[in-house]
Structure formats: structure tokens, C-alpha cells
Amino acid sequence: MSFSIATSGLNAVTEQLNSISHNIANSGTVGYKSSRAEFSSLYAQSQPLGVGVTSVSQSITRSGSLVGSSNALDLAISGNGFFVVNNSEGGTSYTRAGYFGTDSNGFMVNNQGMRLQGYGVDANGNLGTMGDLQIRSGSIPAKASDELAFTANLDARAEKIDQSVIPFDQNNKDSYSNTYTTQIHDSLGREHTITQYFVKTDDNKWSVYYSLDGNVLNQNTPQELQFDTGGKLTSPIAPVDITGTLTGADPISLKVNYSGTSQFGSEFAVTKNKATGYAAGEKTGQQVDEDGSVYATFSNGERMLQGQLVLANFTNPDGLAAQDGTVWTQTSASGAPLLGIPGSGLMGSIKSGALESSNVDLTAELVNLMTAQRNYQANTKVITTNDNMMSALFQAL
């Protein structure tokens, strides 16, 4: 009986050594979760039969440390959740290993060729249904400027200008109080300048003249800005329309939003000056934000939304079935996946240009290795002792 018990011990320790050696071998594998052999004593009613390995479990919920990477599509999850990936047969799997890149068709795939899942975009750039994420190649056409968000403080201490005496003239600095120039683009992507000239005409009243590439657009119909006695803009509330003609391109039609503009007794200062529009550009790369939004970047400094990846979480992540050390599938024990965008609810955020390293503790594994070796030696000693006792018995007969 002692011989079979010791044999069961050798078999169990062998499985433990397999688990330990597998952990050590994968200590550098991105997204790998360490495993351990779980022992249980064996009995036939009250008769001891030795030991067995009931299961080899993985520490799925224990995260590894995040390490930097030079690849913008290397992704790590800071917090809870799993990347959702589909294989070529359409089967869904879950992983923490963020080795991602693009295939020949622009689909985001991991190092095993599985496609990353998320919300794609329609023709208008709006997020749509969930499926394979794809980053499209090619160029981005020019876009004409159609909006200008402009916020400034106009100095309430400025002197009034009597326009019946000094009419507005962009070449005469005495005819206006302040000026500011903004760069815009036409339908061909060419750059132009819109210059605003602010003229204080009365207490809490200002006139604004607009110049497109040096040509005044509203010499006889200036835009009026009015403020209350607290310095708050009261008119206009809606954006102001500015139009102008250009050679060889569509006319400029710009809406200027003065929301937030004030009139206080301090220097003229612009706090916001942002115009839409851009020149044509070629694709230069891609970026992934913390909320999982995937963008293509272009040479003109613009970026275009390509989709948004989703994460999955489970009521019992330890119940997932391992396909290998870094990829799992759902089971009845894990429960159904709970999908969400990164950073929402209990989902972690995405770190671009980073990877989650293995959660293997090499020091602990080496200690376990030495312990397993001692256990193995002890069981072989039992077998040797049992053999010696049997030999002595046969010699006595």
C-alpha cells in the first residue's frame, strides 16, 4: 500500500513540476497568467490511497505589471476586463495579451491572427454596430472651415472711438481698439486668414469688422457686440455668419461663436481661437485613446475615428476555460460576458503603447520548485524504503 501511495505522490508532484516549469518558461509571455496544481488527498472510505491533482488553475484575476512599448497598437488594460477577439471560424475568445497590429486589409489582429472586436464607424464617422475593428488606409480630403469658436476679453477701459470722426480703416490703427487673426482653410485645403477688428463705439458696445486675406467683408455692416453692466455678452447669442468669395474654390461660409466672450477692465486677451477645416493629408499612423477609441492619424495633424474597442468582464473570471495561457473562452461557471467600453462602470482603461507582462512571480516559483523537488525525493525515499523492507522479508523466508 505504501508503494502505491508514494507512486501517487510522485505522479502528483510531477504534475506540479509541469505547472511550475510552464510558469517559469512563460515568465516573459505578455498577458500570461500563472497556474498551480491543486492537490487533494485520496481515500477509499477511511482507507488512505495517497494524493491526486484535482485541477490546475490559473490566477486569471491577478494582473501583471504594465511595461512600455514603441508600438502604438500594443495595448494594455489598466484594471478589469478582457479584450474580445474572434478567430477565423467566428469563435469568440477573451485575452489580456495586447499584442495588436493590422493585417493586409487593415483589420486589427493579435499575434495569433484573431480580430479585435468593437464598434465600427459608418460613412459619416459615427459609431455603429459591433464587429471586427478596421483601420482604413488612404488619404483624408481637405475640409473647408465652417466654424470658428472665439472667446476673448475686451478691455472695458478702452477709449470710445467716434466713427463719424474716425471711420474704420484696417490700415489706420487709430480706427480700431484691438485686432486678432485666425487661419482658416478653403474647400481645396488652401490656407487663408480671417482678421477681426474690434472697435469700442460706446459703453458696453463694440463693432466687429471682418477681413478675408486683407479684404474687408462688412465695411458698411459691422457686427455689434453688446455686454451688460456685469461684463457678460448679451448679444449676439447665436453664431455670426461670415461669407466671402475666393478664386477657384467654394465661397467661405463661416459661423463665428462668441460664447464666453466678456468685457472686463483688463487687457484684451484671447482664450479660445479654434477654427474647423484642414488641408488634405496622408495616413501616417494610428492612435488608441484610454476609452478605446481608435483613430487614424494624418500628415495634416488631423485624426479620424475608426471605431471603439469593447472590453468584457465576467461574474466569475476564474471560471473561464483556458485555450492557452493567454486566451480563454466563457463557460457556465464564468457566466455570460458583460460588455462595455473602457473606463465605464467597472471596466479598466486602455493604455496605448504598453503591454501587460506575465504575472508570474519568479522568486515564488523557484521556491516552489525546490519544495516540489524535496517532495519528490521524499516519495522516492518511501519507495526505496518499501523495496528494502520487501527484500529483507524475502531473504528471511
CA-to-CA separations, 278 to 97, 287, 343, in angstroms, rounded: 37, 19, 31
Distance of alpha carbon 299 from alpha carbon 143, whole angstroms: 14
User: What 3-state class would DSSP assign to 322?
Assistant: strand
Residue 317 DSSP symbol: G
The dihedral built from the CA positions of residue 394, 395, 396 and 397, taken in this order, carries a sign that is positive
At position 86, the amino acid (one-letter code) is N
Superfamily of segment(s) 147-275: Flagellar hook protein FlgE (2.60.98.20)
Nearest to 254 by CA among 206, 226, 218: 218
CA dist 315 and 36 (Å) reads 22
* Beta-ladder partners of 327: 95
Where exactly are the structural domains of the chain?
2-61+358-396, 66-140+282-356, 147-275
The model's pTM is 0.74
For residues 23 and 229, give the distance between their C-alpha atoms in angstroms, rounded to a whole number: 73
- Please state whether the peptide bond connecting residue 167 to the residue before it is cis, i.e. omega within 30 degrees of 0: no
From the number of C-beta atoms within 10 Å of its C-beta (0-12, 13-18, 19+), residue 179 rates as middle
- Report the distance separating Cα 386 and Cα 47, nearest Å: 19
Per-residue pLDDT tens digits of the chain, which is 397 residues long: 676 787 877 888 888 888 889 889 988 889 999 888 888 887 887 788 778 778 787 888 888 999 998 899 999 999 999 999 998 788 999 999 999 999 999 999 999 999 999 999 988 888 989 999 999 888 889 999 999 999 999 999 999 999 999 999 999 999 999 999 999 999 999 999 999 999 999 999 999 999 999 999 999 999 999 999 999 999 999 999 999 999 999 999 999 999 999 999 999 999 999 999 999 999 999 999 999 999 999 998 889 999 999 999 999 998 999 888 899 999 999 999 999 999 998 899 999 999 999 999 899 989 988 988 888 888 788 778 877 777 787 777 6
Whole-angstrom Cα distance, residue 388 to residue 7? 16
Write 20-25 long-range contacts (CB < 8 A, 24+): 20/365, 20/368, 20/369, 20/372, 21/369, 22/325, 23/360, 23/365, 24/360, 24/362, 24/365, 24/366, 24/369
Cα 21 versus chain centre, distance = 34
